[in-house]
Amino acid sequence: MRFVTRSPLAELPFAQLDNVRQEMNGLLRSFDRALSGPSSSADSSVPPFNLHEAEDAVILTAELPGVDPAAVEVSVKADEVTVRGAWPTAETPEGGHWLRRERPRGEFARTVRLPFTPPVDGVEAQFARGVLTLVLDKPAEKQARRIEVKVS
């Protein structure tokens, strides 16, 4: 006689699997917040950052949909860049309740460390279509230099 073992998840209806997925996503988000350090609190979210290096600068982009650009604060201290602001709060519609609420709300702060300290006047910030773009110039000693090869 042959026994077949089945995973306990195989017996759950698909609706319950969605609940499990939502709970796991919530746990992973809270783990992410805990790892991000003191710059965020348990009931806030941090914006996603992309950071890439060009020849003469590092470009940081942060997704901030719905955030008022006038309320965004960017600070640079030595080799750290901090972005602060607040996600807009959406009130529950009268006579209703949320079925799903995934967009962050409340204040946020996020700090990233750069591989260099940008020059004082070497930081540019621009906000367009819900995306903050920072261009952080590299100091001269960190920029790649082209060396002319002389032929004799």
As a whole number, the mean pLDDT across the chain is: 81
Residue position matching structure tokens 């009268």: 94
Domain boundaries, the chain: 44-90+105-141
Question: What percent of the chain shows pLDDT beyond 90?
Answer: 41
The rounded distance, in Å, linking the Cα atoms of 64 and 125 is: 14
Average pLDDT of the segment spanning 123-134: 96
CATH architecture of 44-90+105-141: Sandwich (2.60)
**78-127 tens-digit pLDDT:** 999 999 999 888 777 788 887 887 888 889 999 999 989 999 899 999 99
- So what's the pLDDT on residue 146? 76
The rounded distance, in Å, linking the Cα atoms of 13 and 9 is: 9
The rounded distance, in Å, linking the Cα atoms of 48 and 130 is: 12
**52-75 tens-digit pLDDT:** 999 899 999 999 998 999 999 999
- So what's the pLDDT on residue 24? 82
Amino acid symbol at 97? H
pLDDT over threshold 70, residue 39: no
Q: Which residues pair with 134 in a beta bridge?
A: 60, 125
Coil, helix or strand for 23?
helix
